Structure 1
Amino acid sequence: MNHANIKEALEWRYATKRYDATKKISENDWNLLKQSLHLSPSSYGVQPWKFLVIENPEVREKLKAVSWNQTQVTDASHYVVFLYKQEVDPQFIQKFVDRIVEVRGVPAESLDGYKGMMIENLAKAPDEKIRVWSQRQAYIAMGFLLQTAALLKIDATPMEGLDATAYDKILGLEGSGYKTVATVALGYRHPEDSFQNLKKVRFAEDTIIQYVK
């Protein structure tokens, strides 16, 4: 993978509007896409998210009905619903600290300062602040997924055109502590999707990337 390969992948990708329902992502490629979600960065490393991979065709049909009937929901090979955590309480922070101890083999007491900082900044923060923060973290993971898909020449569509409350009900999320924020459809573009032939429209680079010296 060199600079030219990466640039070509970035130019190749687009928000696919129509998928070829007969084409499926291979298990090998899907495993790498999963890793892009699993390895995504988050503030404090705390990962206030979950990702639901919707495989059930009947559930997908229900979700399509509350997604403006966008065909990507049902025709894409894989459909991922991004959830954000509503509350980051001391118990969740402790669970994260325990995981650090397990993975890195460090003494739990060595993390007391870090745990205290997270409790102060997250567990004691206003609910609305945490809601917005958690949603932003989910979008970081989405970016990693979209980039990985492009490098694999797998089409992807980030989607916000949906009724998140209806999603939560269909997916049985009430009382789980998680809510829907957005989704990503993944698969392979239909040959008749005319959007694949359109040039990207971006503001001139020097108007959006500026240097402070």
Structure 2
Amino acid sequence: MELLKNLQWCYATKKFNPSKKVSKNDLDKLKKAIQLSVSSYGLQLYKTLIIENQDIKNKLRPVSWNQNQITDASYLFVFCNYTEATHEAIDNFIKQTAEIRNLDLERLSGYGDFIKSKLAEKSQTYLALGNLLNACAELKIDACPIEGFEPKAYNQILGLDKQGLNASVIAPIGYRKYDDNTIKQLKVRKPIEILFDII
């Protein structure tokens, strides 16, 4: 299983090579992997910003605990959840489902009402982040999921509040520098027999 080999290869990269850039072709593949991510009810109530602009990355670094990955990586992925799961977003999803699957919109109205009654505020961004990390591992692109940043500052710098968005988790991607000491560190994971119970 190649996935297991790829997951063994990857690690939370602490030093990126700023001179080595991820190709547009690979970036397109990563975007497709995120697009195909699962989400509650298939709603995809999130948006992903891909920051390439160096000036913006420079502004974000101080509010990211001054981590060098922010400025040195090829791209910085900012996963944002919508602050409200509006009825309009759900109605648009139901309409899109009817169009793509060639179904009668009226037949799906009950499903839309069900979603509206059940959907609490959730961040689905971590599901998309997981797909990004797996896709990066397959393409031998380094990544580092980061929760150590100031969401309110990100929201202000990137103008997310005006869009009804909130920065949830970030992930710089690029290529490792080989003087990154964490490359040599062994993975620390719970043993299989402790992590799992079969009942």
1:142 corresponds to 2:129: yes
1:38 corresponds to 2:25: no
| Count of aligned positions | 199
The letter of the residue matching 2:6 is A
Partners of 2:190 and 2:77 in 1: how far apart?
30
What is the Cα-based RMSD across aligned positions, in Å?
1.0
Q: Secondary structure at the match of 1:142?
A: helix
Output one character per residue of 1:4-36: Cα deviation in whole Å (capped at 9) or x when no partner.
Answer: x22211111100000000111112211110011
Q: Which runs of 5+ in 1 are unaligned?
A: 123-128
Partners of 1:86 and 1:172 in 2: how far apart?
14
Counterpart residue number, 1:74: 71
Partners of 1:60 and 1:154 in 2: how far apart?
19
The letter of the residue matching 2:146 is M
TM-score (normalised: structure 2): 0.97
Counterpart residue number, 2:161: 174
Partners of 1:101 and 1:153 in 2: how far apart?
38
The letter of the residue matching 2:57 is R
Runs of 4+ in 1 over 3 A off after TM superposition: none
Counterpart residue number, 1:95: 92
What percent of counterpart residues are identical? 39
CA apart distance, 1:102: 2.3
Q: Which runs of 5+ in 2 are unaligned?
A: none
Instruction: Tell me which of 107, 122, 135 is aligned to 2:104.
Output: 107
Output one character per residue of 1:56-108: Cα deviation in whole Å (capped at 9) or x when no partner.
Answer: 11110010010011011111111110000111121111111111122222111
Output one character per residue of 1:114-160: Cα deviation in whole Å (capped at 9) or x when no partner.
Answer: 111011112xxxxxx41xx1x2x110110011011101111010001
TM-score (normalised: structure 1): 0.91
